[in-house]
Structure 1
Amino acid sequence: MSKAVSFDQIQQFKQDLAATPASGALARAVQNVGIYAASHGQFEDTDTPAVFSDEIETGKVTNQKKSGRCWMFSELNTMRHDTAKRFGIKDLEFSEAYLAFYDRLEKSNLFLERIIASRDRPLTDRVVADLIGYPNGDGGQFDNAAALAAKYGIVPKSAQPETFSSSQTSELNASLNLKLRKDASELRAAAADGASEDDLRAKKQEQLSTIYRILAYAYGEPVQQFDFEYRDKDKQFHADRNITPKEFYAKYVGWDLDEYVTLVSTPEPGKEYYQTYTLPSQNTVIEGRPVKMLNVPHDVFTKLAIKQIQGGDTIWFGNDVLADMDRKSGTLHGGLFNFSELFNADFSFDKGNRFATGQAEVSHAMTLTGVNLVDGKPTQWKVENSWGSENGRDGYFVADKQWFDDYVYEVVIKKSLLDDKTRAALATEPVTLPSWDNLA
């Protein structure tokens, strides 16, 4: 049989299409409203209260707008709810712009250091090509935000509010990536001309100064000291004068971030349960907290998430929000879009092979704030998103059990809640994953 598509084959395809039941009606539906609407399950009634047996009281949702800072919003959300409860501050929000400034600076430094380290490799090398392909973006992991908070502290949003560029990062991304690719080219050319490593780092210092200037224009320079004023739930006025970001973190958050660990659950072939993994390519704060995750079976993963919510603590979690999601209603239902029925073809794809082929990806981070248990088993989860109050139920989404099982890939859990086997597994020597791994 020929490798090319033949006209005889096309004729057979036409006959197969004509023989498909209701093909004409289905074609009109897809052409008129699109694949998602044509395959959408029942729309959720957002006027009906979503009830959860275990729920943590939280405030208004935040809004990352047109930026990829979900991982940062989610982590700061888990902190702000705890702080708001302890100090009686309504609808407290921490500054995402403050941490984002330093995140982009640290990522630029990591990129240039990796360019120096790989200067002898050709541009066609997979590691170098992957590096050059995306020098600096606004995505990240829980450990990245933890490393930034440990090094730079945090501030309330009132001390450093959002800007146009912090909320809509496409122009900044393009500018940074253009500049960093040019910087990479200059570093590689200097290395080829015999520049020493010290010479390359001196050049990197000059390059980072320009990056700092770009970021200062985009975000504003990070605040060094500020006044924090608020009224608590009893209407009492409080003021902290000339407080620094690290002092603010110590007083108003005070978490030991080393007590939080990222658990993943993937059955991908080659990834063992009770084994730790690390992503050096995403250790954005050099000499800071590295990205580290422990792979555990899904039942352990789920039980620990329930345990943390029942203990009164919200959960940062990484997921593939683009799968089986209706944004407007805030619906996260496994099998929400029935492509198999629409196209009369088998679209089922197990999680392990979805990871192995790149179909599964950690595309988003949100916060778990509640769970509904029936006979001790979860039926649905309350999800705080960072897409503003106009989506879902005032910004909160509802995920059913199937969606959680299929598309929740990471949860951040307190070490004190881990069972003995899981805690012991944290000591395993981490397996290094490449920058293109699906957990990246």
Structure 2
Amino acid sequence: MTKEINNEILADFRKNLNQDATNNVLKNSVAQVGIFKAAENLDVKSKLNPTFNVQVKTGKVSDQKHSGRCWLFSALTTLRTEFSSKYDVKDFELSQNYSSFWDRLEKANYFYQGIIKTAALPVEDRKVNSLFSYPNGDGGFWQFAVDLVEKYGVVPAYAMPETAVSNNTTEFNSVLGTMLRKNGIELRKLVNEGKSEAEVDQRVDEMLSEVYKVCVYAFGQPPVNFELSIRNDKDKMIEETSITPKEFLNKYFTINFDDYVDVLNAPQIDKEYGKLYNIEFEGNIVGKNATTFFNLPLSRLKEMAIAQLKDGKVVLFGNDVAKQSDRSKGLMSGNMYQYDKLFGIDTKMSRGEALDYKQASISHAMVLTGVNLVDDKPNRWKVENSWGEARGEKGYFTMDDDWFNDHAYDVVVNKKYLTGDELKMLDQEPVLLPAWDSIA
């Protein structure tokens, strides 16, 4: 590389800037109010009417506070919506803290097993680097939640309420991350010193006991059983003197997780439509199902999401929420901030390019609870977020279809909405993607 910025080039920059008088006005405006305010499209709000002709009956939104548990909140929302409808309890909520406790413990074991598996690789190997970069976070996918619920059941929010730590996981993530990295170093040494499998397993058990203690201090002790006592909206009691989390799940919830599939739209060179994909080391429970995505065109994601909403079922979807959205107003529009017009530039990328070159990521999970159709085509969507009632319309966001086109990447839908040919594709062996893949 030999090209340098010199005084001659800088003089040209200044000359070009000063040729247009409007540049000085825009410079002052941007500097005073900021880029977002200066680029905001004020017409968006008038077009995002929070009324929808297809809508699932839902209740009060939840609040993940300062944590990365959106995937878990969204998954449990699908369960609580079913419970609320079946038993007439509009604002019923499941304990995210209960499921999150088991998630963090299971992820610790998942990390330890990954470290053991890769112990012979050099520390600079990309697999080893990936494991140590993210030993245990509070993020996840739909399959993580499914595996947790099937193994540990669920409890109402009152049976294991939130704590200061579950509401703000920054400190916990730091402490646990340090602890796991230190343990990971030790496990690599034990394996490379030729210690027996039994000796290594014994040390893992001791490490997990410490993780369990830290989790109890931070999140509370998960209940082995609890008293079920809920008064529904018709003033009838739902009561059980003592019930376990698994019994509660099996008795009061009818969802069959095997009926659902996570459908992805990733139009990238390395990902064909009609193929299944797994991501290496992308899981939370050892011995459970791998996180699997079924890659299909974006139009199919919309068609299946609409069909599920029409059947009265909400739809979990993964997205890149930070792009083109107003968090306080709860508005999401493909034309929310007109940066290109403000600066006279062109930043448009295809969906595949945005994923490939790190402009986009599946950073958040929310729930579709409604859609507005014009001539059977969607023009806006109702979104239940997990950021509390202070944002949007009491926690509900309105998203235009352009935002879906640009920033929505996967939906969890019942397999009955797949075509016959698509169902046959589910029998294929998934393609294994590396841990550092763009959709991880």
TM-score category of the 2 structures, normalised to the smaller one = over 0.9
> What CA distance in whole angstroms lies between the structure 2 residues aligned with 1:20 and 1:93?
57
Q: Tell me the alpha carbon deviations over residues 283-322 of structure 1, each in whole angstroms, 9 at most, x when there is no partner.
A: 2111112201100011111111100000110001000111
Q: Distance in 2 between matches of 1:253 and 1:437?
A: 35
- Greater Cα offset, 5-14 or 345-354: 5-14
Aligned partner of residue 76 in structure 2, secondary structure: helix
The answer to whether the 8 Å contact 1:334/1:400 transfers is yes
CA distance, structure 2, for counterparts of residue 179 and residue 282 of structure 1: 20
Residue 386 of structure 1 corresponds to 386
Residue in 2 aligned with 1:374?
Answer: 374
- The residue that corresponds to 2:6 in the other structure is 6
Alignment partner, residue 146 of structure 1? 146
Which one-letter code corresponds to 1:108 in the other structure?
A
**Cα distance in 2 between the residues matched to 1:402 and 1:64:** 27
User: d(CA) in 2 for partners of 1:19 and 1:218?
Assistant: 60
Q: Distance in 1 between matches of 2:389 and 2:277?
A: 36
Q: Report the counterpart of residue 327 of structure 1 in structure 2.
A: 327
Separation of aligned partners in 1, 2:314 and 2:219: 29
* Mapped partners of 2:71, 2:113: distance in 1: 24
Comparing 416-425 with 396-405, which one deviates more in the overlay? 416-425
Measure, in 1, the Cα distance between the counterparts of 2:354 and 2:77: 30
> What's 1:313 paired with?
313
- What does residue 85 of structure 1 align with? 85
Report the alpha carbon displacement of residue 47 of structure 1 after superposing the two structures with TM: 12
1:20 positional shift: 4.5
Contact map agreement 1:67 1:167 (CA 8 A) in 2: yes
Residues 227 and 242, structure 1, Cα contact 8 Å, conserved in 2 = yes
2:39 equivalent to 1:39: yes
Secondary structure at the counterpart of residue 413 of structure 2 = strand
Q: Is the 8 A contact 2:44 2:333 kept in 1?
A: no
Secondary structure at 2:286 match in 1: coil
- Residue matched to 2:227: 227
Partner secondary structure for residue 123 of structure 2:
coil
AA in 2 matched with 1:244: T
Match of 1:295 in 2: 295
Residues 276 and 294 in structure 1, CA contact (< 8 A), matched pair in contact too: yes
Q: How does 1:146-185 map to 2 (within 5 A)?
A: 146-185=146-185
What is the CA-CA distance between 1:280 and the residue it aligns to?
3.2
More moved, 389-398 vs 31-40: 31-40
Matched, 1:261 2:261: yes
Q: Which amino acid aligns with 1:79?
A: L
Query: Is the partner of 1:72 in helix, strand or coil?
Result: helix
The answer on whether the counterparts of 1:265 and 1:410 sit within 8 Å (CA) in structure 2 is yes
Which residue of 2 is the match for residue 122 of structure 1?
A: 122
For 1:104, the aligned partner's letter is R
- Partners of 1:238 and 1:299 lie apart in 2 by 42
Displacement of 1:48 in angstroms is 8.7
Alignment of 1:332-371 (within 5 A): 332-371=332-371
What do the CA deviations read for 1:24-48 (whole angstroms, capped 9, x no partner)?
1222222212211111111655899
Aligned residue in 2 for 1:216: 216
Partner residue in 2 for 1:207: 207
1:422 corresponds to which residue? Answer: 422
1:228 and 1:241 in contact (8 A); partners too: yes
User: Distance in 2 between the 1:349 and 1:153 partners?
Assistant: 42
Task: Tell me if the contact between 1:44 and 1:329 (Cα under 8 Å) persists in the aligned partners.
Answer: no
Aligned to 2:215, the other structure's residue is in SS state helix
2: CA distance, partners of 1:190 / 1:277: 33
Q: CA deviation at 1:426?
A: 1.1
Structure 1 gaps, min length 5? none
In 2: Cα distance, 1:44 partner to 1:348 partner? 19
TM-score, length-scaled by structure 1: 0.97
Counterparts of 2:434 and 2:43 in 1: how far apart (Å)? 40
Q: Distance in 1 between matches of 2:194 and 2:21?
A: 69
Q: 1:202 to 1:234 in 2, by over 3 A?
A: same
Q: Could you say if the C-alpha distance between residues 48 and 177 of structure 1 is closer, same or farther in structure 2, counting changes exceeding 3 Å?
A: closer
Q: With structure 2 as the length reference, what TM-score do the two structures score? A: 0.97
C-alpha contact (below 8 Å) 1:46/1:329 kept by paired residues: no
- Partner residue in 2 for 1:69: 69
**In the alignment, residue 431 of structure 1 is paired with which amino acid?**
V
Tell me the secondary structure at the aligned position of residue 282 of structure 1: coil
How many Å apart are 1:406 and its aligned residue?
A: 1.0
Residue 158 of structure 1: SS of its match in structure 2? helix
Task: Spell out, residue by residue over 1:182-221, the C-alpha distance to the aligned partner (whole angstroms, 9 max, x if none).
Answer: 1011112223333233322221111111111000000111
**Runs of 4+ deviating beyond 3 Å:** 43-49
Q: Is the CA contact (8 Å cut-off) linking 1:280 and 1:291 kept in structure 2? A: no
Task: Please identify, of 13-22 and 213-222, the stretch whose mean Cα deviation from structure 2 is larger.
Answer: 13-22
Question: Does the aligned pair in 2 maintain the 1:53–1:373 contact within 8 Å?
Answer: yes
SS in 2 for 1:390: coil
Question: In the TM superposition, what is the alpha-carbon distance from 1:16 to its structure 2 partner?
Answer: 2.5
Percent identity between the two aligned chains: 39
The farther-off stretch of 32-41 and 45-54 is: 45-54
Q: Which residue of 2 aligns with 1:131?
A: 131
What RMSD over aligned residues (CA atoms) do the two structures have, in Å?
Answer: 1.6
- The code of the aligned residue for 1:86 comes to K
1:150-192 per-position Cα deviation (integer Å, ceiling 9, x unaligned):
0000100010000011110000000000100110111122233
| In 2: Cα distance, 1:43 partner to 1:171 partner | 41
**Which runs of 5 or more structure 2 residues have no equivalent in the other structure?**
none
**Does the 8 Å contact 2:48/2:400 carry over to 1?**
no
